[in-house]
């Protein structure tokens, strides 16, 4: 089939609901994927290419013409070409005059050029209306239809009408346009696909640092100390025992760190007597990555569960159990059941199970697919009320696990407290301050401040 001629009629809209022809410059991966999607959505597509040769890869029903010919057929032209080739557009300035040019390009590095690609295009072709869009959608997602994760299309441009036309196309493709304002926003939009888990950096490095610290701490107290003073080689503790000590400690501390910034925010608002002053930057950034901190905490808690479940399979644990049984047999004496100990062990396990259940619930409700389906009050109920309940249960789990051990000198090797004691400091501090904050004499003014009341209105200026 000759694509150059067969669709000429289709390109001329005859009815009002017929979609307008869209021109795409470039028959590369993205140009083809977008063209395919547009044809599916009812848009006649014409390609502008260096070669008008027909290829099997080009969507059926699309025309392929020279750039100048193709541009004349449409009011909107999508530039599916890398920025470094934009120079070839300059001789086409006349034919592109007044047309809407959609810049979809990305760079290889953050802030690679002094100006965004879209602004560069606008400088090259001042007579055209440049709109930035589609750069955060991948050709693969367009082609495979797996657009769930990237349904949002950021759009920006200086010409409101042109931007509206592009947003209409975005909607027609089943995507959600998000107006980011003028073309000045293009640099930020172009940087989005290049960012590497921006919200995860602080939680990741914090977790890494704390894990390394607690791991070394345990190695020193559980392996080095035992080797020096008891001449026992427990170096194999590195594989399971120590990770199973570090994981719950990390889970508990990180969960407490999810709620600590909220406590700081409340104290700052109470102190200032207004909510209309910005929090310090560090607190803003901390608040923004609470979800990530919570998810890492959940990962540590899950590892703790798995490490605990494999415990009975461990040679060391079986050896210790057998030694207890044999010593009772040799002494011909059965140790009576210690009811206090039985209560403590069942209680700390039950608290751990309940705490972990709530932990998982928090993790599930933080997933966009779930959080999008609950209203604000439900979300806050789960993340705040149930979150604090999870923190209380996990803190109680650790306290009951430790029991009165913190009173025993064996909990302080080299005068250093056992790791479980360290893990309780931040959660206990958070819970105590939160307890104070819910007292009516503190809660009432805080609620009023959060509703807009100001103790001293000069702060709102």
Query: Which phi and psi angles does 56 have, rounded to 5°?
Result: -65, -25
| Smallest distance from ligand NAP to CB 32, Å | 7
DSSP state of 110: T
| Smallest distance from ligand NAP to CB 86, Å | 9
Structure tokens at 73: 């057929």
Query: Which phi and psi angles does 329 have, rounded to 5°?
Result: -65, -40
Structure tokens at 240: 């399971």
Cβ distance to ligand NAP smaller for residue 142 or 162: 142
| Smallest distance from ligand NAP to CB 33, Å | 7
| Smallest distance from ligand NAP to CB 181, Å | 20
Rounded to 5°, the CA angle 36-141-41 comes to 35
Longest dimension (CA), the chain: 103
Using Cβ positions, the residue closest to ligand NAP within the complex turns out to be: 28
- Chain residues that interact with ligand NAP, rule: CB under 6 A: 26-31, 49-51, 80-82, 85, 88, 104-106, 135, 138-139
| Smallest distance from ligand NAP to CB 200, Å | 23
Distance CA 427, CA 392 (A): 8
Distance CA 394, CA 353 (A): 9
Distance CA 256, CA 38 (A): 49
Distance CA 7, CA 22 (A): 13
Q: How many CB atoms neighbour CB 255 within 10 A?
A: 29
Distance CA 35, CA 140 (A): 13
Cβ distance to ligand NAP smaller for residue 81 or 297: 81
Beta-sheet pairing, 76-79 with 22-25: parallel
Closest among 74, 73, 63, 58 to 169, alpha carbons compared? 74
Distance CA 271, CA 268 (A): 5
The dihedral through the CA atoms of 16, 21, 22, 28 has a sign that is positive
Cβ distance to ligand NAP smaller for residue 73 or 275: 73
Alpha helices in 195-314 (DSSP H): 201-218, 225-230, 241-272, 281-288, 290-309
Tell me the residue ranges of DSSP E strands in 80-186.
100-103, 129-132, 152-157, 176-179
| Smallest distance from ligand NAP to CB 43, Å | 18
Alpha helices in 97-138 (DSSP H): 117-124
Whether residue 221 contacts residue 418, with contact meaning beta carbons closer than 8 Å, is answered with yes
| Smallest distance from ligand NAP to CB 170, Å | 14
């Amino acid at each position: 089939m000759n694509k150059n001629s067969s669709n000429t009629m289709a390109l001329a809209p005859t009815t009002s609901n017929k979609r307008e022809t869209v021109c795409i410059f470039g028959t590369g991966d993205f140009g083809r994927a977008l063209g395919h999607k547009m044809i599916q959505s009812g848009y006649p597509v014409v390609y502008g290419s260096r070669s008008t040769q027909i290829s099997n890869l080009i969507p059926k029903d699309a025309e392929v013409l020279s750039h100048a010919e193709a541009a004349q057929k449409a009011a909107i032209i999508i530039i599916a070409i890398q920025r470094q080739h934009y120079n070839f557009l300059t001789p086409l300035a006349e034919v592109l005059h007044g047309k809407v040019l959609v810049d979809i390009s990305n760079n290889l590095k953050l802030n690679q050029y002094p100006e965004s690609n879209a602004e560069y295009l606008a400088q090259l072709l001042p007579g055209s209306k440049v709109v930035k869009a589609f750069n955060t959608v991948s050709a693969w997602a367009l082609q495979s239809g797996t657009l769930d994760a990237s349904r949002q299309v950021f759009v920006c441009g200086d010409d409101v009408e042109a931007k509206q036309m592009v947003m209409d196309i975005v909607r027609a493709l089943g995507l959600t346009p998000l107006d980011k304002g003028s073309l000045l926003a293009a640099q930020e939009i172009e940087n989005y696909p290049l960012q590497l888990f921006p919200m995860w950096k602080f939680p990741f490095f914090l977790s890494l640092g704390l894990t390394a610290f607690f791991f070394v701490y345990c190695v020193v107290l559980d392996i080095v100390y035992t080797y020096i003073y008891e001449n026992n080689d427990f170096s194999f503790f590195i594989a399971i025992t120590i990770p199973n000590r570090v994981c719950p400690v990390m889970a508990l501390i990180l969960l407490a760190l999810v709620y600590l910034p909220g406590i700081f925010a409340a104290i700052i608002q109470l102190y200032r007597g207004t909510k209309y002053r910005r929090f310090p930057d560090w607190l803003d950034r901390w608040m923004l990555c609470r979800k990530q901190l919570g998810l890492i905490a959940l990962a540590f808690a899950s590892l703790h569960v798995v490490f605990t479940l494999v415990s009975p399979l461990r040679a060391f644990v079986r050896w210790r159990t057998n030694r207890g049984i044999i010593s009772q047999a040799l002494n011909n004496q059965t140790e009576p059941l210690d009811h206090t100990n039985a209560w403590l062990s069942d209680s700390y396990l039950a608290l751990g199970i309940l705490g972990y259940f709530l932990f998982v619930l928090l993790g599930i409700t933080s997933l966009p697919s779930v959080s999008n389906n609950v209203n604000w009050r439900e979300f806050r109920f789960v993340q705040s009320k149930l979150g604090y309940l999870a923190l209380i249960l996990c803190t109680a789990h650790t306290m009951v696990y430790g029991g009165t051990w913190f009173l025993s000198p064996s909990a302080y090797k080299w005068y250093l407290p056992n790791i479980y004691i360290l893990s309780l400091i931040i959660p206990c501090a958070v819970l105590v301050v939160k307890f104070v904050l819910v007292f009516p004499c503190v809660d009432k003014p805080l609620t009023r401040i959060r509703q807009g009341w100001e103790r001293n209105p000069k702060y709102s200026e």
